[in-house]
Amino acid sequence: MDSLRIATRKSPLALWQSEHVAARLRAAHPGLEVVLVPMSTRGDEQLDRSLAAIGGKGLFLKELELAMQRGEADCAVHSLKDVPMQLEPGFELPAVLERADPADAFVSNAFDGIAALPHGAVVGTSSLRRQAQLRARRPDLQLRDLRGNVNTRLAKLDAGEYDAIVLACAGLERLGLDARIRDRLAPPDWLPAPAQAVVAVETRVGDARTRERMAVLEHVPTRVRIEAERALNLALHGSCHVPVAAYAELDGERLRLRAWVGSASDGSGVSAQGEGDATQSQALGRAVAADLLAQGAGRFLD
């Protein structure tokens, strides 16, 4: 029987995303056996330190890429916001799926939103971008790191370690936990991470057979949008070390990109936006990045 092996992290969300891709592929290619190859990554194992401190989001990819190089898997499925702006040589992203809800989720058992939190409330998030946007609105809050999979983070909230936590809406919705969302932190007032809520498939360059199979998953409007967001991030040398927020919207042939860069320590920041032809998405990303840098964004990126 013809088969395809998908390397995936073992977290419930990663497994959901990989099974979603597998189901789409089975439906599109009758007779194709699609199997998951669950793996543990350093990013999943080292939960006692921030991602920035242990080397960045690329830690979620390395083991999956090695599995492809060793011939143990044909592709890997990722949350695109965790994928470095530049892939390791020999790999490519032949398919990005349609974007889900890009907003962040305010989750609390006692409070309806950021404004409702009492003075000095404890909020959990490991994202410097989220910390910076929280600081910009509520400098009085105590922000504490929060690592682990979605269920682990919710359990820490339920145990009383935090008054509220901030997660991605898409992750909660994919796991059937959308009832936990108390407030959506959404554009244009609150911007997500570049490519947030987008699932992508990574393959080896030159693996034409796997690439061909992935074509049914590609969502062109999403590709256009995330290319602008990721080009902006690349031009800013963005990673999980720096708080970069970006969101692109497609209206016919026109593409608009909003972006913000700020400080996780005091909430100060600079914002920029631009509009251009959808066929020039990467150029738009670089132009908005240049605007941010001209306003002094470099001081937040060093």
Categorise residue 57: left if φ over 0, alpha if ψ from -120 to 50, beta otherwise: alpha
Catalytic residue (one of 74, 82, 163, 183): 82
Contacts of 107 (CB under 8 A, 6+ apart): 154, 157, 164, 165, 166, 167, 172, 180, 181, 182
Alpha-helix residue ranges (DSSP H) falling in 62-183: 62-69, 128-137, 150-158, 169-174
Residue 277 annotated to the active site: no
Contacts of 256 (CB under 8 A, 6+ apart): 248, 249, 273, 274, 275
User: CA 147, 149, 154, 160: dihedral to nearest 10 degrees?
Assistant: -30
Q: Which residues does the annotation mark as catalytic?
A: 82
